[in-house]
Amino acid sequence: MRSAILDGWVRAFLTAHPTGTVVEVGTGLNTRFDRLDNGAVRWFDLDLPDTIALRRRFFADRQRRTMLVGSVLDTDWFDTVAAAPGPYLFVCEAVFVYLTGEQVHTVLSQLAHRFAGSLIAFDTAGAVMLRNQHRNGSMHAVAARMQWVCDDPRELARWGPELLDTRTFATPQPDVASTWPARYRYGMPLLARLLPFIVNNYKLNCSGSPEFLNEAAMLNIRRALRRLGDAQIGCRPIDAPPSTNIVCPVMNDASSDSKKAIAAAMSWGRPRRPMGTMAR
């Protein structure tokens, strides 16, 4: 579920920027490139030396996909990434939670400074999750422990990029949810009602510059309009370039069904509820 939600943002990024660059930070044995390669993206898999050595036993570099030995805490790999075409998306799956708050601050500030206008997707764990991590069976097999408590990912905006979207396992992107088995699709929202303090304590987040929000929202608007059919809307061509802010020029002409679809599409990049309240 975690990977699927992050994949959703990578897919949206690649739809808007097919020749952009994705950096999988703390890649481990992640197979995201193999799942999402669009034939044009430039991709880097960054991890510490021992992990990359292990990874090389299963994966090989290719023309558009390169393994990088380095630490997310350092900047020595920045030039290699910056030489690839922008814009950039950094995916940090199950990495920040193992750092200290101070280290996450450093990483976000460094990325925001060098790769201004890029997107970053990452997960956050709140105090309840950290307190209970010893109960998670998978944690028994590893020495690493989660350290960074983040109950409200909006707070990170003061260190760099703005929070554009935040999800829990109970509130995945609709197009992602539609690929999940029913037990997750319906089970997680139910569990979130029963145990909100647990389900809502772990979040998947996407931060970046607000233009990305507009692009993603406009992509979803176009998809929604396509589903409804141009004739019903009677508006400007749906492939017109995205506007730089979230204003839909067709709203006044649209039927109420269209308005609902557009409103739903525009909610793509917005937190679905006020942060700190519980998902329903």
Ligand X SMILES: C[S@@+](CC[C@H](N)C(=O)[O-])C[C@H]1O[C@@H](n2cnc3c(N)ncnc32)[C@H](O)[C@@H]1O
The contact set with ligand X (CB under 6 A) reads 26-28, 30, 46-48, 51, 71-73, 93-95
Q: Which is nearer to ligand X, 30 or 168 (CB)?
A: 30
Whole-number minimum distance, CB 268 to ligand X, in Å?
23
Whole-number minimum distance, CB 70 to ligand X, in Å?
7
| 69 strand-pairing partners | 47
What span, in angstroms and rounded, lies between the C-alpha atoms of 15 and 238? 15
Whole-number minimum distance, CB 192 to ligand X, in Å?
22
Whole-number minimum distance, CB 25 to ligand X, in Å?
6
Please, what is the angle between helix 210-228 and helix 256-266, to 10°?
150
Q: Which is nearer to ligand X, 144 or 247 (CB)?
A: 144
Closest by alpha carbon to 121, among 208, 183, 52, 224? 208
What span, in angstroms and rounded, lies between the C-alpha atoms of 267 and 220? 9
Q: Which is nearer to ligand X, 156 or 254 (CB)?
A: 156
How open is the CA angle 121-127-129, to the nearest 5 degrees?
75
Q: Which is nearer to ligand X, 97 or 228 (CB)?
A: 97
Q: Which is nearer to ligand X, 140 or 231 (CB)?
A: 140
Closest by alpha carbon to 204, among 277, 137, 126? 126
Whole-number minimum distance, CB 17 to ligand X, in Å?
22
> If DSSP codes are grouped into helix, strand and coil, which group holds residue 73?
coil
Whole-number minimum distance, CB 46 to ligand X, in Å?
6
Q: Which is nearer to ligand X, 76 or 155 (CB)?
A: 76
What span, in angstroms and rounded, lies between the C-alpha atoms of 187 and 170? 8
Closest by alpha carbon to 272, among 90, 12, 5, 88? 5
Whole-number minimum distance, CB 111 to ligand X, in Å?
13
Q: Which is nearer to ligand X, 156 or 262 (CB)?
A: 156
C-beta of residue 168 within 8 angstroms of C-beta of residue 189:
no
Q: Which residues of 65-79 are buried (b: 16+ CB within 10 A; e: fewer)?
A: bebbbbbbeeeebbe
Phi, psi for 126 (deg, rounded to 5): -85, 180
